[in-house]
Structure 1
Amino acid sequence: MDEVNLRLLAELQRDPRMSMSELARRVGMSAPAVTERVQRLEAAGVIRGYRLEVDPAALGLPVAAVVRIRPGPGQLTRVADAIRATPQVVECHRVTGEDCFVLAVHAPSIPELESILDVFLMYGQTTTSIVVSTPVPARPLPLPAWGA
């Protein structure tokens, strides 16, 4: 990862929708050279995608929760399958410790959240925390300093 790639990533993290010509202008390169570098970063898996952020509350999903799941014996695969089949789960991590999964879930109401949780209760224990605020929203990864 050279300095130019780090500068490209920094600019794209600030505005992933900018044109290649604008990106080229910001880093002082030609648009074809920038396009080639970005394509190489994509092909190498450094840039995994571009995403749209939507306010869940604006879509009628104002209840956000963090759910930890501890599967019962032999239920790990069933829990993972249930998580994948639940569209209200927007993020899932397999973790170490007493719990095996940590989920981010959005629901239209507390009763609907309860219905979502009931699916997982068939396979193990859940611990749920309702999100009351988000002091640090999703943000870009810190990029290493050039030469570090």
Structure 2
Amino acid sequence: MLDELDRTIIEILVDDARISLKELSQKVGLSSPSVSERLRRLEEKKVIRAFTVDIDPQTLGYNLTAIVRVRPLPGMIHIVEKLIQETPEITECDKVTGDDCFIGKLQFRTMQQLDGILDRLAEKAETNTAIVKSSPVKRRLPPLA
């Protein structure tokens, strides 16, 4: 699906999404119009979904992270999903198979804040929470080859 130049462009952008088109072109050895066209095609194919910024939650005072497994009570799955979507401290969430329906990642400042979030969920779901001690693998792309 991707050729070597596309993989190189993506790897450079993952490292620095703010790189100028001129500098990106120089790094891959193509003209700016050629790189621009490749970027357009990668966006059209939805290989590149967005150019974004990576912010460290700790710099905003969110020094604690938790992983929460959520099992909605009978008949509550859609209500719980909406509640999860409306909770800004839940920064990631996947709907999964197995005993739990959702696995979410929460960023929070205090244990009291975590308790408040979990209390809102507890009315409609069972939860199981683990506090993150460290993240030996940060979010990354799978191999591009």
When the two structures are superposed, what TM-score results if normalisation uses the length of structure 1?
0.92
Question: 1:64 maps to what in 2?
Answer: 65
Q: Which runs of 4+ in 1 moved over 3 A?
A: none
Structure 2, unaligned runs of 5 or more: none
Question: 1:10 maps to what in 2?
Answer: 11
- Pair 1:86 & 2:87 matched: yes
Q: Could you tell me how far apart the structure 1 residues matched to 2:63 and 2:92 are?
A: 16
Q: Write out per-residue CA displacement over residues 46-92 of structure 1, whole angstroms, 9 at most, x where no aligned residue.
A: 10112212221221111110000001111110010000110001000
Deviation at 1:140, TM superposition (A): 3.0
- State the number of aligned residues: 144
Q: Could you tell me how far apart the structure 2 residues matched to 1:6 and 1:56 are?
A: 29
Partner amino acid for 1:58?
Answer: T
Q: Could you tell me how far apart the structure 2 residues matched to 1:64 and 1:56 are?
A: 9
Question: 1:43 maps to what in 2?
Answer: 44
Structure 1, unaligned runs of 5 or more: none
Q: Could you tell me how far apart the structure 2 residues matched to 1:129 and 1:136 are?
A: 17
Q: Could you tell me how far apart the structure 2 residues matched to 1:16 and 1:120 are?
A: 36
Q: Could you tell me how far apart the structure 1 residues matched to 2:104 and 2:96 are?
A: 10
Question: 1:28 maps to what in 2?
Answer: 29
* Overall identity of the aligned pairs, in %: 40
RMSD: 1.1
Question: Which deviates the most, 129-138 or 80-89?
Answer: 129-138
Deviation at 1:35, TM superposition (A): 0.7
Partner amino acid for 1:14?
Answer: D
SS at the partner of 1:99?
Answer: coil
Question: 1:114 maps to what in 2?
Answer: 115
Deviation at 1:39, TM superposition (A): 1.3
When the two structures are superposed, what TM-score results if normalisation uses the length of structure 2?
0.94
Partner amino acid for 2:18?
Answer: R
Question: 1:19 maps to what in 2?
Answer: 20
